């Protein structure tokens, strides 16, 4: 086949491949379940709490940790909105949610070192633990596929 003939041969788009279309339908079905919606909503709220936690708990005298929490919390909230709105496109980023949870747990020691106080540690460890579990829940949404259809 010549180069010119190869240029005129129609190619199918990968977006139209039956396996990819079925996978997207599966993810959309999974994202519409009440469990997935609950996990997405709680993940969103967890992100907002991480963002405002320094002002709620009162460790604004550690501006570096406050900024870290603000950025990671807002990032998680935006991701949660994406998971809820278009999980079929966002499922490849589902691993980020538990990673943010783990970062939230270790950030007082990484950012503040020995200056970390009990309120900063307790706040971030509890919140990070909850967000890590929710992140695993977000990952599980894609694995469940929204349940199986009953055979008739």
Express each pLDDT in 53-87 by its tens digit. Answer: 999 998 878 999 999 999 999 999 999 998 888 77
Express each pLDDT in 11-58 by its tens digit. Answer: 556 666 565 566 566 666 666 677 878 888 999 999 999 999 999 998
Which residues have a Cβ under 8 Å from the Cβ of 99 and sit 6 or more positions away?
135
Helix ranges (DSSP H) in 32-95: 34-53, 63-90
Six-digit token string for 22: 């079925």
User: Within a domain: residue 117?
Assistant: yes
User: Within a domain: residue 10?
Assistant: no
User: Within a domain: residue 59?
Assistant: yes
Q: What is the mean pLDDT of residues 133-142?
A: 86
Measured in residues, the chain has a length of 152
Look at the pTM and tell me if it is higher than 0.85: no
User: Within a domain: residue 50?
Assistant: yes
Question: Using only C-alpha atoms, what is the Rg of the chain?
Answer: 21
- In total, how many domains does the chain have? 1
Q: Which of the two residues, 3 and 67, has the higher pLDDT score?
A: 67
User: Within a domain: residue 24?
Assistant: no
Boundaries of domain holding 63: 37-144
Q: Which of the two residues, 5 and 62, has the higher pLDDT score?
A: 62
Give me the residue label for tokens 């900063």: 120
User: Within a domain: residue 150?
Assistant: no
Q: Are 101 and 126 in contact (CB under 8 A)?
A: no
Q: How far is CA 91 from the centre of its chain?
A: 8
Which pLDDT value is given to residue 151?
43
User: Within a domain: residue 113?
Assistant: yes
User: Within a domain: residue 17?
Assistant: no
Q: Are 43 and 80 in contact (CB under 8 A)?
A: yes
């Amino acid at each position: 086949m010549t180069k010119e003939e190869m240029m005129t041969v129609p190619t199918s788009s990968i977006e139209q491949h039956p396996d990819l279309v079925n996978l997207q339908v599966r993810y959309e079905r999974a994202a519409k379940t009440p469990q997935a919606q609950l996990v997405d909503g709680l993940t969103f709220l967890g992100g907002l709490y991480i963002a405002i936690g320094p002002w709620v708990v009162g460790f604004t005298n550690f501006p570096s940790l406050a900024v870290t929490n603000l950025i990671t919390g807002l990032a998680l909230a935006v991701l949660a909105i994406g998971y809820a709105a278009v999980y079929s496109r966002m499922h490849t980023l589902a691993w980020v949610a538990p990673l943010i949870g783990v970062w939230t747990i270790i950030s007082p020691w990484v950012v503040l070192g020995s200056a970390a106080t009990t309120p900063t540690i307790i706040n971030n460890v509890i919140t990070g633990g909850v967000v890590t579990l929710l992140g695993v829940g977000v990952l599980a949404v894609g694995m469940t596929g929204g349940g199986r259809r009953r055979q008739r």
